[in-house]
Structure 1
């Protein structure tokens, strides 16, 4: 009886033990799943992350120890497998954008630019026009004498009236006088109309006169001029042009105000008194499209004598020759949009006279012309496509963190004297940033208005008509600023600062970050930030370094007297640091590294990776949850050094110097960086972890 109970109890205990064991195994399994799930949640699974992981796996050469040769480790397979730069030519992308079909979201000016490009490329349409449009325009101006022969009535011809009419039609009008807007920032603060000698009136070379006469004659014959008249009249017209150029050059050489900060101004009434043969107020109002009055000031800079001699010269020449010249200059300005026979004659002329190959690629020509007719339109579209509000905010945050790291480094510098330290700190304190470009660029409607393109729509698909429509809008916008306050909202100003491939500085303290650096290939918000700081962060660090010290003179000499390098008074610490840098470069057996200019670049390359790394560490304190790239055993710190070094993997090696410099930009800064050695566990004594390192800041 007792034994039976014990047997039953033993079975029960065994069952309980079994159940507890199973329960423990289930709990362990659940824990493992939860841990794995937690780790899995920390893996970046975006398309960009997966692609970057694949690139690291493909390009990193694990057969090389990173502590022995990080250039071979990072760049070796990269250079073998990649045949071209990961960052394609920017012009190719812009050209593609102009040539592509209209996309949803394209600004109105960009649509018009694409329309112009299409009409320019449509050679079939140009041939169908058979130059009728340009001849019709000539008819509206009083016709081309060489085409009409004796039937041309020149009794009422007056070059001033033709100039006014040509301006109203959107055609060339500056045959004899140049009208520009002068920003009188040093005196009145106004945009002042300036009348001057046309800059393109320069003397012919000796052999050009005959070649131009042949050209003019052939073009006139193609367009229908009588042969005998064409040979006779074109010769006289070219002689007239030759003498006009000599006259302009003679008076231009007498000018003395080339470099004046402010030019002398006179009223329109005063000009009228000096030379009454021209109704100046009427001419000026027709050219500018404004309503100026006689007491308004203009700049008539040292051209009174030129105007007097010009008037004598013109009125001493038969009217039909003057008219021939004026129409001829319109032809010369628009020949690329005329029929094939005309284009071929001009191409042969330039090949013979200028010794230059003709541009036979119509697509390239039309892309270039569309960008001339619509300056900054494609560039602004590129900026808006690649620089989102999110990117602007995040990159601005990155810039301020990097700037704070530079402030810290300068403050802690052991060698920088107080005056230089204060100067550097002052520049850093005042330094501001524009990410992608000026703020106005991101307002597509406001920017279009600043460029004079708001509401502009072509009325025709004929390329000659489109040219005149575009010029007419340009004239109205450009000359409409006369007698108004000078502002930065002009095409001329934007052309200085809207540079999508190069850093620029506004007002000496605002650094404009080019949009090309904000493409996803360099900065991508969907990637972990240790990659973004490794790439864009390093580039920005280099540029800020150059900005802070850009006005200092480089005075390193061959005898290794590095005193006053970058105009910073030396201390023994700095002198030893630069000597250490020279010694580092000697490992690459290239004497060019010792040149002062190259030394400045080397300093930036040494400092930038460290600044970017420290900036990332500060950022990670604020945002500690950084995801990892999938399928990689590298730590975030290790991936930082891989990606920052990849910027210096020069995929085009043309010489030993290219190879040496590319290797130096990777190995030099990293082997002298303790953060790198710690991340890769490189103990002192390895090639990438020397016992003594060079420290600049």
Structure 2
């Protein structure tokens, strides 16, 4: 059960980074990673902004002329008077000197910025940096900041949180002391599990067991989640989404390349190895078989791969599901395909059909029709083998069955799938489990020591500038009709901003945590998450809810609530500092804010109004012009492919369209806000004073680009191109900046160069 925080679907929210393997290791990319589901499931923080701030923000956006007396569109780029408003102090200190040195060392000034700005800005760092063996990718900004926050959290968990016998301290301790050898526990688990599956005989019993698995965060057949209803965002709906796969995407099953065939062969070996290490066996004609199913382990592995291949065949491509017109299908439960046994499934979960208005929302009608037939016609032994493997794989992925079994999981998903050479150290994995499972509690301790009210106020001040900049972008878009401009401006005024942290976090009162049983601790957390999600059904949507913890280095926009959320962790160096020059802050955090705000008007977000309701509020002629502009962006990005890979491994312009539109808009909005703001800023730094050789405008663009300096393993890069709604980091620089005239002006790029093409794409 999940709240679908990070799924690339219409009602979900896609964070700035998506799920980034570099921060927690390869595990978070695994499609059925239980920890990933727990992270999505536990909506972590809520916050109430004061009325005065909301009123001030609305007035600011409603009357941008008050603040944009000399906006770039009115004065040809000249900056105006800031009216004495202070966003950042600019006194010189050691952090500024360190920043300037860091910027210069990351660059490679030998590269022509008009031909390859990514390597101009990041080349020095790329040349010096190797991916650590316990990472599948590594970034200059996001990963380094995450490592710093990890160190802070580790100190808390191994210090006062442990000494105080807090739930977070005890969970971390139980993980760190999980025994490597779990043989006696596995025997108990086998017997307990056998009692669950021994009576599995028909599609109804399969539906019942599927519900039990879903309540324990074990993914089988499909995904179930609770989220705002797209048409009525004041209530929650129950969503069913295609799923049931154990490889990263449908392409891993369907593509016939040598590499994909090799992965599937290795997958078969992993299934057999996991079964052989965990199940009680009997001998059957000299072949190992399980006491749970009558198939030999060889047969079981082949049947599981075959079943998942069928699921992959009936699954829609991820890019298709980005369109809410395709993926939002409310279906009365009486019309749910027969062999899904929806009423039995809901009964096991304790969901009264009347609470969900006797409706379930499904993302693919065809998938569930064919899944129903599969559940009725697939041999029971195959179903038993499939569900048993998914249960074991889920438990092993979270280290719940000991280190020796986790090593097998890592060898396949880490080394073979993601190209990661070594598993993450145990403390980092235990920190990740604790952070995912009890993130609100850990976040409270983090905020107390690492986030000040002045920093929050500074971020709020910057965000008002970004919103005013976007108001001008809307006003100056000639292809928008006055009717659509008015409606878009109204939506912009209604955006709800959440910054920093919540004042009413989850306290996990029903979660039982002991010092010495990580398995039961983790199970308690999983059940808490499902219970919390299901209890939302029938209740009004909590508009104060957060879907990220304050210690998360990320941000998101939620179209169903028309809200932007910026956790405390991303309001840190190198994204943001009250001591940094404005060009650096706006190129960093400002572009992040502009990115999230642009999501409200990308190809998905534009279909939701200011209240978060999904409906068409654009006139048909303006919608057509938007689609033409969006297709230009899609075609542009589909022409990009990483130099480390062959041209067949190119960006999927349709899958990444929303993020690409947000990147294009985010840079433009942040730059315009910076240009206006910098004129009234009492700064000691301008031109070459801060970074020799860079003027203010150039410093802005270099600061933006250096957010995305990143290296990937080949395997991870290939996986991301098929599964991630974000483009690889190189193209989050090349895409937006090559289409932006202000960048070309700043670096004197001649028409016809890569960063000043004859024809450009833009939406905002």
TM-score, length of structure 1 as denominator length: 0.53
Q: Is the 8 A contact 1:178 1:197 kept in 2?
A: yes
Post-superposition offset of 1:438 = 1.5
User: Does 1:96 pair with 2:151?
Assistant: yes
Post-superposition offset of 1:237 = 2.1
C-alpha distance in 2 between matches for 1:393 and 1:293: 45
User: Does 1:167 pair with 2:212?
Assistant: yes
C-alpha distance in 1 between matches for 2:474 and 2:377: 68
Map of 1:142 onto structure 2:
194
Alignment of 1:83-122 (within 5 A): 89-102=144-157, 112=167, 115-122=170-177
C-alpha distance in 1 between matches for 2:672 and 2:316: 51
Q: Is the 8 A contact 1:113 1:374 kept in 2?
A: yes
Map of 2:453 onto structure 1:
389
Report the aligned-residue RMSD.
Answer: 6.4
C-alpha distance in 2 between matches for 1:476 and 1:87: 33
Map of 2:332 onto structure 1:
266
Map of 1:577 onto structure 2:
none
Post-superposition offset of 1:101 = 3.1
User: Does 1:234 pair with 2:264?
Assistant: no
Change (3 A) 1:540 1:244: closer
Change (3 A) 1:389 1:247: same
C-alpha distance in 1 between matches for 2:681 and 2:469: 10
Post-superposition offset of 1:92 = 0.7
Q: Secondary structure at the match of 1:180?
A: strand
Post-superposition offset of 1:330 = 1.7
User: Does 1:448 pair with 2:506?
Assistant: yes
C-alpha distance in 2 between matches for 1:195 and 1:410: 36
Map of 1:307 onto structure 2:
372
Change (3 A) 1:370 1:408: closer
Q: Secondary structure at the match of 1:474?
A: helix
Post-superposition offset of 1:226 = 4.1
Post-superposition offset of 1:472 = 0.9
Q: Is the 8 A contact 2:550 2:567 kept in 1?
A: no
Change (3 A) 1:443 1:489: closer
User: Does 1:473 pair with 2:528?
Assistant: yes
C-alpha distance in 1 between matches for 2:586 and 2:316: 51
Residue deviations 1:89-142, cap 9 Å, x none?
A: 2211232233223399979999645544444343xx3225x2433442332233
C-alpha distance in 2 between matches for 1:186 and 1:113: 38
Map of 1:198 onto structure 2:
243
Map of 1:519 onto structure 2:
572
The structure with more helix, counted as a fraction of residues: 1
Post-superposition offset of 1:599 = 11
Q: Secondary structure at the match of 2:521?
A: helix
Q: Is the 8 A contact 2:557 2:565 kept in 1?
A: yes
C-alpha distance in 2 between matches for 1:322 and 1:549: 41
Map of 1:9 onto structure 2:
none
Q: Is the 8 A contact 2:180 2:404 kept in 1?
A: no
Post-superposition offset of 1:265 = 1.6
Map of 2:179 onto structure 1:
126
Post-superposition offset of 1:240 = 3.3
Residue deviations 1:214-234, cap 9 Å, x none?
A: 444444444453454525621
Map of 1:438 onto structure 2:
498
Match of 1:281 among 333, 343, 354: 343
Q: Is the 8 A contact 2:227 2:239 kept in 1?
A: yes
C-alpha distance in 2 between matches for 1:511 and 1:177: 29
Residue deviations 1:269-291, cap 9 Å, x none?
A: x659x45xx864343121x3334
C-alpha distance in 2 between matches for 1:196 and 1:403: 34
Residue deviations 1:606-639, cap 9 Å, x none?
A: 866652333336xxxxxxxxxxxxxxxxx95779
Map of 2:281 onto structure 1:
225
C-alpha distance in 1 between matches for 2:559 and 2:673: 23
Alignment of 1:301-380 (within 5 A): 301-302=365-366, 303-304=368-369, 306-315=371-380, 317=381, 322-336=383-397, 337=399, 338-339=401-402, 341-349=404-412, 354=417, 356-357=419-420, 359-363=422-426, 364-373=428-437
Change (3 A) 1:517 1:544: closer
Residue deviations 1:503-556, cap 9 Å, x none?
A: 85878986656645643777666x6xxx66575467677778887999799xxx
C-alpha distance in 2 between matches for 1:240 and 1:95: 41
Residue segments in structure 1 that go unaligned for 5+ positions in a row: 1-45, 62-78, 146-153, 554-566, 568-596, 618-634, 672-697
Higher relative contact order (CA 8 A, sep 6+): 2
Change (3 A) 1:93 1:380: farther
Q: Is the 8 A contact 2:236 2:540 kept in 1?
A: yes
Change (3 A) 1:54 1:599: closer
Map of 1:590 onto structure 2:
none
C-alpha distance in 1 between matches for 2:299 and 2:474: 71
Change (3 A) 1:264 1:233: same
C-alpha distance in 1 between matches for 2:199 and 2:555: 56
Match of 1:185 among 206, 230, 241: 230
Residue deviations 1:17-57, cap 9 Å, x none?
A: xxxxxxxxxxxxxxxxxxxxxxxxxxxxx9x8765798799
C-alpha distance in 1 between matches for 2:573 and 2:586: 14
Map of 1:593 onto structure 2:
none
Alignment of 1:246-645 (within 5 A): 246-249=309-312, 251-252=314-315, 259-260=325-326, 262-268=328-334, 274=338, 280-286=342-348, 288-292=349-353, 296-299=357-360, 301-302=365-366, 303-304=368-369, 306-315=371-380, 317=381, 322-336=383-397, 337=399, 338-339=401-402, 341-349=404-412, 354=417, 356-357=419-420, 359-363=422-426, 364-373=428-437, 385-397=449-461, 438=498, 442-444=501-503, 446-448=504-506, 453=508, 456-459=511-514, 461-488=516-543, 494-495=547-548, 500-501=553-554, 515=568, 518-519=571-572, 536=585, 610-616=675-681, 642=690
Change (3 A) 1:615 1:104: farther
Change (3 A) 1:289 1:461: farther
Q: Secondary structure at the match of 2:225?
A: strand
C-alpha distance in 1 between matches for 2:333 and 2:410: 45
Once the two structures are overlaid, the 10-residue window that deviates more, 461-470 or 259-268, is: 259-268
C-alpha distance in 2 between matches for 1:207 and 1:418: 50
Q: Secondary structure at the match of 1:448?
A: coil
C-alpha distance in 2 between matches for 1:191 and 1:647: 42
